Amino acid sequence: MMDGVDEEILRGGVANAGAVVRTGDEVLRPANPHTPTIHAFLGALRSVGFDGAPKPVGVDPDGRERLGFIRGDVPLTPYPEWAQTNAALASVVRLVRRFHAASAQCAAGPGQAWSDELVDPKAGSGAGTIVCHNDVCLENVVFREGEAVALLDFDFAAPGRPLYDLAQLARMCVPVDDPLSASRSGWAPVDVAGRLRLVADEYGLTVADRTEFFSILEASIERGGEFVRRHAEAGQPAFVEMWNAMGGMERFDRRRDWFRAHRDGLRTCVQLDH
């Protein structure tokens, strides 16, 4: 409790676990060096009519950012059955497509401070660069009656290619993972190829888009583990615990081996003529 106001801890997250709280119709969470840029972007999204992201309120004297609370359901592990359905996945893709359309109207200007933690390694290399979310996993999506209505946690947002953002969504929300790792992450067995095709279809990817989309996904799988290992090696307790719990790099090597073994079938399924 602070200044007589009750604070309800909101579950989820890794680095900010236990530090995100709700007070009335607002959420307080740790700010970071990118918060001013992120708040400006969130405000710009609202100015172009996108309501699927938190309303930026400000930063408190104690260093916490204040955002509008979005009512709904946020799936946490073990994921509920409704969150693992094709309908739920399709709704996440539609939400991200709307987000990308709105983001394209909010130009990222020079001098803005974006995170480089999960940034598209080829950001700015092609046409259509927008501000991407970069971390669309189920824990960062608000649902109402099974329909995705809002994205949360823009800490890793940064300019990049929309297809890069979509590939990260697919990696985490299909999920594109080996069966053992997926089950340990709270997933029931899923048709990975079919759900990957669903992502491409629902977003409306062209033949050329699908080729690039799959190449980005493949590169992301090959780089798997870098982010968590980097933070674990820096001694951050939450990431050290996560790294050890998942079995270290063995977890990502297992996914790499699985993806390489199924690559051709997955790529064929994503194509339009399949």
Task: Please provide the average confidence, as pLDDT, over all residues in the chain.
Answer: 92
Q: Is 56 buried (19+), middle (13-18) or exposed (0-12) by CB count in 10 A?
A: buried
pLDDT digits (tens, 9 = 90+) for 3-60: 446 888 887 665 666 688 999 999 999 999 999 999 999 999 999 999 999 999 999 9
pLDDT tens track for 127-149? 578 999 999 999 999 999 999 99
Say which residue the tokens 């530090």 belong to: 19
pLDDT digits (tens, 9 = 90+) for 92-134: 999 999 999 999 999 766 668 899 999 999 987 655 789 999 9
Question: What is the predicted pLDDT for the residue at 85?
Answer: 98
3-state helix, strand, coil in the chain (%, to 5): 45, 15, 40
pLDDT higher than 50, residue 154:
yes
For residue 57, report the phi and psi dihedrals to the nearest 5 degrees. Answer: -110, -45
Domain ranges in the chain are 8-68
Count Cα atoms within 13 angstroms, Cβ side, for 6. 4
pTM tops 0.85, yes or no: yes
CATH for 8-68?
3.30.200
Provide the 8-state DSSP code for 84: G
Q: Strand 8-9 relative to strand 130-132: parallel, antiparallel, unpaired?
A: unpaired
Residue 2 has pLDDT above 60, yes or no: no
Predicted local confidence at residue 11, as pLDDT: 75
Per-residue confidence (pLDDT) for residue 71, from 0 to 100:
97
Between 78-82, 142-146, 240-244, the lowest mean confidence (pLDDT) is in: 240-244
